[in-house]
Amino acid sequence: MLAQFSLGALLIALTVAIHGAVLGWLMWRLKHVSLGAQSLWRYYALLAPVAIWCVIAHLAEIGLWGTFYVWFGVMADLEVALYFSAVTYATIGYGDVVPPESWRLLASMEGLTGILMCAWSGGFIFAIVSRLHREVAAARV
């Protein structure tokens, strides 16, 4: 159990690193974007790529966990492992694919990590929308 917890901690750290790198890059890209009073479509054009990059980060993280499951023999093949990882990460948990009993702790750790990463993405997008509203309000004055 301690070994599984340690492997889970490593996977969590790598997941956070991936997510932090993508959101950090997006923040760097958005740092010098002056929003001001623009059309609603211009805001959509800004938010859509942010959402897409957040999803790409999540998919990379799901891929990390899924690859781990295959590498350590938790799942038989990559397709099943990626599917299981996606349903676990997103906390959907259909239950049609389950890990062996000895790996259930790790699957639970992935679910908790997925919740945190989705919340981080949601908070990031919320911060951008808040900035949009502040800049629009400032431009109207």
CB-count burial class (<10 Å; 0-12, 13-18, 19+) for 46: middle
Q: Is the pLDDT of residue 111 over 80?
A: yes
Sequence-distant (≥ 6) Cβ neighbours of residue 98 within 8 angstroms: 84
Q: Is residue 79 part of a domain?
A: yes
Range of the domain at 118: 2-29+39-140
CA angle 104, 94, 20 (to 5 degrees): 65
Q: Is residue 81 part of a domain?
A: yes
Percentage of the chain beyond pLDDT 70 is: 93
The pLDDT score that the predictor gives to residue 110 is 97
CB-count burial class (<10 Å; 0-12, 13-18, 19+) for 69: buried
The arithmetic mean of pLDDT across residues 85-96, rounded, is 95
Q: Which two tokens stand for residue 107?
A: 């699957």
CATH number, residue 135: 1.10.287.70
DSSP alpha helix (H) spans, the chain: 2-30, 40-71, 78-89, 104-140
The pLDDT score that the predictor gives to residue 43 is 80
Report the domain count for the chain. Answer: 1
Dist. CA 22–CA 73, nearest whole Å: 29
Q: Is residue 34 part of a domain?
A: no
Lowest mean pLDDT among 11-15, 39-43, 83-87, 97-101: 39-43
The pLDDT score that the predictor gives to residue 136 is 73
Q: What is the pLDDT of residues 30-41, one digit of tens each?
A: 887 766 656 677
Tell me what the pLDDT averaged over the chain comes to: 91
Q: Is the pLDDT of residue 141 over 70?
A: no
Q: What is the pLDDT of residues 33-90, one digit of tens each?
A: 766 656 677 788 889 999 999 999 999 999 999 999 999 999 999 999 999 999 999 9
Q: Is the pLDDT of residue 124 over 70?
A: yes
